A = this chain, B = another copy of it.
C-alpha cells in the first residue's frame, strides 16, 4: 500500500486532534507530531493552521457515505433519514463523546475568529441541509411528511436540532439527547 503523502497525513492528523480538542486547543507542532512528519513540513503544504482548518471543513463535508444514504431513492425517505442520524449517533457514542461534530465545534469556536473557516462552515451547513432536503422532499412527495412547510426549512430546522443534541450529549456524556432527537424529530417534525 503506498504511504499516504504528507499533506494527506496532516489533514487526517488535524481532523483527529481538532475534533477532540478544538482549533485553538491544538498547535501546529501537535498536529505534525500526530501525523508523524517533521514540523517544518507543515508550511510546505499549508500557509497557516487556519488554511488547514478550512481544508478540513471542505473534506468533512465531502463524506460520501453519509450523503449516499440520504440520496438513495431505492430506500423509503424516512428510513434514509433514520439510518443517516443513527450512524452519526453511533460514531459519537463509540468515541465515548470525546469527538464532537466538526461543523458544530468549529461554528462555536471560530465563527467570529476566521472569515475563511466561517465561509467553509456556511457552505457545509448548506450542503448538509440540501442532502436532508432531498430525503424530506421525497417524504413529502409520498405523503409521509406534511407539505405545509418547505422541505428546505424543515431540513435546516432538523439539522440545527441535531447539532444541539450533539452539544448536549458531549457535555452530559450520555446518549439520551440522541435518543430524544430520534424520537421527537420523527414524531414532531418529520410528520
- Residues of B near A1 (CB, < 8 A) are none
Number of contacting residues on A, CB 8 A? Answer: 52
Determine whether A118 belongs to the interface, using a CB cutoff of 8 Å to chain B. Answer: yes
- The A interface is mostly helix, strand or loop, or mixed, namely helix
Determine whether A112 belongs to the interface, using a CB cutoff of 8 Å to chain B. Answer: yes
- As a 0/1 sequence over residues 158 to 184 of chain A, the CB contacts with chain B under 8 angstroms (1 = contact) are 011111110110111100010011011
The number of times this chain is found in the oligomer is 2
Decide if B149 touches A112 in the complex (CB within 8 Å): no
Q: How far is the CB of A91 from chain B (nearest CB, A)?
A: 15
Residue among A20, A108, A113, A184 with max Cβ neighbours from chain B (10 Å): A108
- Residues of B near A188 (CB, < 8 A) are 157, 188-189, 191
Other-chain residue from B21, B112, B122, B189 in contact with A172 (beta carbon distance below 8 A)? B122
The answer for the CA separation of A67 and B151 in the assembled complex, in Å, is: 34
In the complex, chain A residues 127-171 whose Cβ is within 8 Å of any chain B Cβ: 149, 153-154, 156-157, 159-165, 167-168, 170-171
Decide if B157 touches A161 in the complex (CB within 8 Å): yes
